[in-house]
Structure formats: C-alpha cells, structure tokens
Homo-oligomer: A and B are copies of this chain.
Amino acid sequence: MGTTQLETVPEPKYWHLKTVLGEALDSDFAVGEILPNERDLAARFGVARATLRQALEQLELEGRLQRRRGVGTTVAPPRVGVDVSTTQHEWPGAAKDAWQLIDCAVAAAPAPVAKLLECATDDEVHVVRRVRVTHGQSVAAELLYVPASSVPELSAIAGASGPVRARAVLRELQRLALDSQDRAVELGSARADDAKELDRLPGAPVLVVTTRYIVEGRPAAVSVATYRADTCRLTFGDSGDLEISDHPEERRAS
C-alpha cells in the first residue's frame, strides 16, 4: 500500500478552472486584452462566482491577470525583472537608482526594526519614504530607518521637511564607509499606506526585501522595501548579463 495513491481524489473545481483558464490565456488572449466579467465567466463554466474568483485570484497571484475594480480583468504583461542586486556595497540614493523620495519623518523605532538595528525600541530614527518606479509604474515602496545616532550631523537642519529632509539624510548616510550588508526576502501583505503607493488594495501580496547596512561592524540603517509580488520578479545579477529579455509574451500552446 504505497503512500502515493496519486489522484484518486477529484481535483478541486477552482484548480481545474485555473488550469483551463491559464491555457486559454496562452492560446486565445493577447496581453492587455479584457476578459469577460466574472458573472459571465462563472455562468459559462457552470460554477458559482466565488469559485470562479478563487481561480482568478490564483492567476493574479501568478502574475497572469490583473484585476481592477470598476474596470475589469485584463491579461497581465509578463513580470518585469527588477534588479535588487547590491552592485558592490552601495548606499541607497547613490548613483542612478530608480528611487523617488517622498518624505521623511522622525519616530520611535518599531520593535522588529529596533531588533535589526540592535537598538532600543524607543530610540529615535529618521524614517525616509521612497518609491521605486520602473517602466512608468510604481513597483516598490520603501521605508528606510536611520537611527539618529548614525547621522549625528543632521540635527542642524532638523527644520527642513519632506523630500528636502529626506535628501539630507541620504546625503549624510553616503558619507559613512559601508562595510557590508545582509539581506532577506520574504512574502508579506501590503500595509494600507504601502498599498496606496503601489496602487493596490491593502493586503495585496508583496515581496518584502529587508536590507541591513553595516558600518564599522554595527548596523547603521535598515531598509524595508515592499515590491508588488504580482508584477515583479526580483533579479540578483551575479553575472554580467542579467535582465535577460525572456519576454514570453508570444507564449503559445499551439
């Protein structure tokens, strides 16, 4: 009695639906094309709307579909490759990175961030907000936490606000000698504010990239960047030629 009684069980409807729809997307639809609405699709497949939606959710999670309230469901373009490699040790804001400064606030470090910074929960940190734009769309929202102690010279211009202040913080950071960084990627769901920046609903799936910048053996800053999981593929260019143009838009099942 092998444990592999493969497929004795009936496949769930939504799973089968997802497969069928996925194949239809490959063969019968072009990128950007609008699908029939959910009520019609459900009727056509003879299932309840909730079941149909379960299949659509999966396909959206996989980056095959894009749904917008009040508009409709469209065939998504292939995921865009976003380079997140640490091109040599580099501070944020250096060189030509595609980040756009939003603003800067001062607050107590949130518990998980404080732990990464190896400082107390109520230590003051500068919080710089940035948004990453690629191919005309916002792909990531970032919060960069910089302990006040990392940029001691900054207090002089404490009066400035918004992007001006954010710029000042980054400028101070770049004066420090960066030892190294460590980094982690995990799945998360967008907080309300991030969701707004990314033009998604709260709870949308995101890839959270946490980066710790080390100076003189101690963490000097922590960045928490949330990338849209539906539209992004994070690339780590260990080799020279990354961002290969594998654009499978003309994928055809034939």
Contacts and interface: CB of A to CB of B under 8 A. Distances in A.
B203 A15 contact: yes
Given A112-B248, A246-B115, A186 B238 contact: no
A235 B79 CA distance: 22
Given A58-B203, A115-B248, A248-B112, A234 B185 contact: yes
Interface stretch (A38-46, A96-104, A175-183): A175-183
Contacts of A236: 182-185, 236
A242 interface: yes
Interface string A64-98: 00000000000000010100001001000000000
Query: Size band of the A side of the interface?
Result: 35 or more
A253 B253 CA distance: 52
B184 A233 contact: yes
B229 A182 contact: no
Nearest to A253: B111
Interface in A138-186: 179-186
Contacts of A183: 235-236, 238
13 contacts: A15-B202, A15-B203, A58-B189, A61-B188, A81-B184, A115-B246, A179-B239, A180-B238, A183-B238, A184-B236, A185-B236, A186-B207, A186-B233
